[in-house]
Structure 1
């Protein structure tokens, strides 16, 4: 179903005319420029769909339209509506603002940090607050007031809340009342149409009993949304649920891949996963399908505009801080599958989803999956160094992982860390993909983007710091009501807590050099000094990244030494024992990452005994260290700027 925009509609984030995208879970319409930022946040923050070039279930589009027309945007910009916000210097983005850093900074604050939503009074027991909100949601969904329910969800109400007294969920209530738009909203926030109430009835049962046939049919579609989307991605058709057809399993034109012994072993491994881990893997593949389809629409609608640059590329799934780093790394690896490999994985998931839903037993003998994998691994003589090679992307942490670890973190025996873990592909094909992408351009571009954005933010902060010398009444940032100890890149939707930066604790970590009797000091260096040192660090990191891009590995060591000097000088600005836990954590991440960077770069020296010879692996580790250094420096700039302005 296509969307005909009215001229009165404007972008929710910058007020630009004629928005052509929607953020489904936020209930807003957004323009192309703002959508480029939304896409980089990930689906856990914003689920984007093109209003004209993406197929829409009619009631889902109606739900988003209703929220937009009833002021859903005021939920995300609550504090900006206060006249005091204008006086304090906080404002929303304008159409004329640059995408980076202006619009991007505002959008991250608005949706990722939830910097402007209405805050509830602090209570000792957060679970009580969430329970109260969920009970309000449970009551509200029987009405047509969508924006009230969205506000409750934004504050932490749970879409799958099971009411202890009523014995059902909000989706049961909405279905019984025939509130199809409320059902759409709840489903977007994760409500399960298959949940049974205390009487054993599902929301579908209540919709049918009430004569709400359209709602009942839509709930079934929502129940099979994941497998329907995967099937449609491959063959452009959806199952006919009305006539009892709930699965379509496409067939590959070339079935040779499916007949290989490796493919059979991979399928056995997939079948051996618990339902919970299988669901996680299927959801990750669903997100990757969404990323690929959205990318295709994005490129088709931009027509070579200036927006199609490295700053708008989403080369793999953005990190979801609510997931483990292992799972995030596995999710990112899905982008490396070519069309044939990815299609094979999707078909295997569809086939096993059907088997699990219908309760069919596993076919064939119950062979030991580990034994099969080790046997095949030996037959193909996979090089031993690849068995222990961490295969991850620059934005994730340095854990040894693969796609298998994503789906079996409870069973991480070292014997299974083989190159057979990325789905049903041949060893030859897998090694080709792996070798081509281990030090891929996408990784370096991603970190270059982070570094360039940091440089832009530093220039802005420098200007603000200069103005502050003349007038102390101006706040340092448009987004100064965010918590002091959080970083916009590390926070989720705000509903399930925040993930702190994990400090690397391996060899070379820097101990606390402060004497035991030294008292904690609240004194911090000036913002200008910190910015000046951070600029030097980012400049040196850019030199290192250019060397990585150009495969100038002999430049790694001198670059790392310059970075280490700049980091040491920056750390020296701070007291030996800072009073702030956040400052101590950021300093420890900064200095330990610099030490580790030097250690990794030394591995490029020829003839070093006991060190790996895989230069691509070293490059990955170097990029990760550089990312951690840039991130820690950014945190310190943010902290000192805020503290010095208070």
Structure 2
């Protein structure tokens, strides 16, 4: 079911027109740009769905529409509605603001920090506790006032609160009253349809007794939402719960080939406690949501420009409520390729059905194959780069960066020990199953945007030709002074934090400038920069075609041509550009070209550092190409703007 947008609908975060996404748990509609920030925060902060291109349970969409139409956004922006907030300098983002940092900072304050939510007074003699709020929620869900319940939930009321006097949860009350939208809201906030009250009845029982058949059917769907979503992801079908079918276990053509290692790993999966198994299943559910939303995101974005401020989310963002180990395991799910991830999903579906039905461990010969790869080469590669985390920090990851590094080192030591001893541990299972990053989607994304860059450059070139010809010639090359900091630490889809690297002393770039030189304000002409950017873009397109066609022997010559083009473009600029933005873009351009050459060399068959799967090299190559293209685009934009002035 798709929503019919009204012309009066605006983004809840920046007031931009025609929002095409919804934040389900916040009850708001949001635009593409703001949605990109929501996604980077993680599902524990905001659960996003596209209003037209994502399948919606009808009552869930109705719930979000009702909240939006009844001013749910005022819950999250309560203090901003106070005229005093204008005096204090606090304001809402607007459509003209940049995504980073303006919109991103506002959205984080609004939803992650809850900076604008109304705070109830908490005095020693009149404190409002979570228990008090939960009791109010328990009473309020019998009515149709959704925004009141959302406000209570935003203040800390618990959706699964068990009322000691009433002997029931809010979902029992809502189900008995036939309040299907309240049930949807409670379920979004974690209410369990299978919970029994003091009489042993579930919310489904109360819905059926009250004749609320649609609600009863929906509660059953919610109860099986996790396994239904996993099955739908693989085969596009959901079980027929009305007729007693609660699980669909898709089959794979090569499911009969089961190695001894695969059997051992499956046995360990089956031996997990219910609690640990549920955690793993929820993490896989979140990864399914990330992959499906990425697919919608790529299909609906405007790829007319090379780089935008909004990108895909390359792995699950950090949830601070989870341990560092679990967060790292969640992020590693992005390293499964399509076949490996499908296999894991099938294994979880199979074991979920077994656990739900109370069946003994299966010894069947037709269990689905677990695609397992040895990780010794991956370990040797990681040991060479042991001071860097697997992924860049995102959202709330800043505070856990040190913990992440320490956890990785201790986990690596433990893993090596376990592998040498032979037995397969649960952690081994997660490590080994993690395979390597599937880079196909990233290739497709970058190919799409690169194919349109030439048109964009031609347009800019026409504009530049109308400008007065710039006769200034840079007297020296770009300063190549070493930097120890990240050249551009805000790239949203960077997978790993890497230090800037300087060019080696091979004579390809001039020596660093003397410190006594005064920064030069002179910039090259826009036409010259565009011409060099076109050459860089052409070479990047050749590299991407090589990646797409798996012709890895073409990586090095392509990277060398890109290196030459980058060097020529950097030489257009003075050693000491006056603009910080120009310096930053040049650093990103040159350091990324150097990293690109380094990564491409790893694709050589004789290279001992080659990982188990060349896809990891390809992913890093694509990332470097992305950074080079981003920097080139920035330099074109800067010079056009400066020369136009």
* Bigger shift: residues 37-46 or 241-250: 37-46
Bigger drift between 8-17 and 558-567 goes to 558-567
Asked whether the equivalents of residues 479 and 575 of structure 2 are also in contact (C-alpha less than 8 Å), the reply is no
Are the aligned partners of 2:377 and 2:609 in contact in 1 as well (CA < 8 Å)? no
Do the aligned partners of residues 497 and 385 (structure 1) sit closer, same or farther apart at CA in structure 2, a change above 3 Å counting?
Answer: closer
Contact 2:10/2:29, CA 8 A, preserved across alignment: yes
CA 575–483 in structure 1, closer or farther in 2 if over 3 Å, else same? closer
In structure 1, C-alpha distance between the alignment counterparts of 2:518 and 2:302, rounded to whole Å: 61
SS at match of 2:434: helix
Moved more, 446-455 or 573-582: 573-582
User: 1:275 maps to which residue?
Assistant: 274
Flag structure 1 segments of 5+ consecutive residues without an equivalent.
none
- Equivalent pair of 1:386/1:419 in contact (CA under 8 Å): no
Aligned to 2:288, the other structure's residue is in SS state helix
Do the aligned partners of 2:415 and 2:428 also contact (CA within 8 Å) in 1? no
Relative to 1, partners in 2 of residues 1:478 and 1:599: Cα closer, same or farther, differing over 3 Å? closer
Residue 531 and residue 505 in structure 1: after superposition, are their counterparts in 2 closer, same or farther (change >3 A)? Answer: same
TM-score (norm 1): 0.63
- The 3 A distance-change label for structure 1 pair 144 and 613 is closer
1:560-584 Cα shifts (integer Å, max 9, x gaps): 9999999999999999999999999
Q: Which runs of 5+ in 2 are unaligned?
A: none
> Shift of the alpha carbon at 1:12?
0.6
Looking at structure 1, the residues matched to 337 and 523 of structure 2 have their Cα atoms a distance apart, in angstroms, of 50
Contact 1:143 1:179 in 2 (8 A): yes
Shift of 1:269: 1.0
CA distance in 1: counterparts of 2:450 and 2:407, whole angstroms: 34
Q: Does structure 2 conserve the Cα–Cα contact (< 8 Å) formed by 1:130 and 1:157?
A: yes
DSSP-derived class of the 2:468 partner: helix
Cα distance, 1:342–1:524 mapped onto 2, change above 3 Å = same
RMSD (Å) for aligned C-alpha atoms: 11.3
Shift of 1:471: 40
Listed one character per residue, the Cα deviations across residues 321-377 of structure 1 (whole Å, up to 9, x for unaligned) are: 111111110001001110000000000000000000000011349999999999999
For the pair shown, the structure with the greater C-alpha radius of gyration is 2
CA shift for structure 1 position 88: 1.8
8 Å contact 1:389–1:617 — kept in the other structure?
A: no
Q: Distance in 1 between matches of 2:209 and 2:575?
A: 69
Closer, same or farther: CA 547–243 of 1 in aligned 2, 3 Å = closer
- CA change 1:242–1:608 in 2 (3 A) is closer
Secondary structure in structure 1 of the residue aligned to 2:2: coil
Q: Which moved more, 1:400-409 or 1:35-44?
A: 400-409
Query: 2:133, 2:498 → 1: CA distance?
Result: 23
TM-superposed deviation, 1:435 = 11
Count of residue pairs brought into register by the alignment: 645
Contact 1:604–1:618 (8 Å) recurs in 2: yes
State the partner residue of 2:31.
31
Structure 1 contact 123–129 (Cα < 8 Å) conserved = no
Q: Quick check: 1:531–1:637 contact (8 Å CA) kept in 2?
A: yes
Q: CA deviation at 1:519?
A: 42
For residue 219 of structure 1, report the CA deviation from its aligned partner.
Answer: 0.2
Q: Which 10-residue stretch deviates more, 488-497 or 37-46?
A: 488-497
Asked if the contact 1:490/1:500 (under 8 Å) is kept, the reply is no
Preserved CA contact (<8 Å) 2:40 2:395: no
Distance 2:122 2:573 in 1: 32
* Counterpart Cα distance in 1 of 2:494 and 2:79: 18
- Cα displacement string for residues 418-452 of structure 1 (whole angstroms, at most 9, x for unaligned residues): 89899999999999999995999999999999999
Cα shift readout 1:72-112 (whole Å, capped 9, x = no counterpart): 00000000000011122211111111112211111111111
Q: Using a 3 Å threshold, how does the CA distance of structure 1 residues 125 and 450 change in structure 2: closer, same or farther?
A: farther
Partner Cα distance (1:482, 1:169) in 2: 64
Aligned to 2:42: 42
* Shift in CA distance, 556/322, structure 1 to aligned 2, threshold 3 Å: farther
Cα distance change of structure 1 residues 523 and 402 upon mapping to structure 2, 3 Å threshold: closer
Shifted more, 271-280 versus 454-463: the winner is 454-463
Q: What is the TM-score when the length of structure 2 is the normalising length?
A: 0.63
- The Cα of 1:308 is off from its aligned counterpart by 6.1
CA drift at 1:198: 1.1
3-state SS of the aligned residue for 1:387?
A: coil
Question: How far apart are the structure 2 equivalents of 1:342 and 1:220?
Answer: 27
What is the distance in 1 between the residues matched to 2:132 and 2:482? 24
Which residue pairs with 1:473 in the alignment?
472
What is the CA-CA distance between 1:27 and the residue it aligns to?
0.1
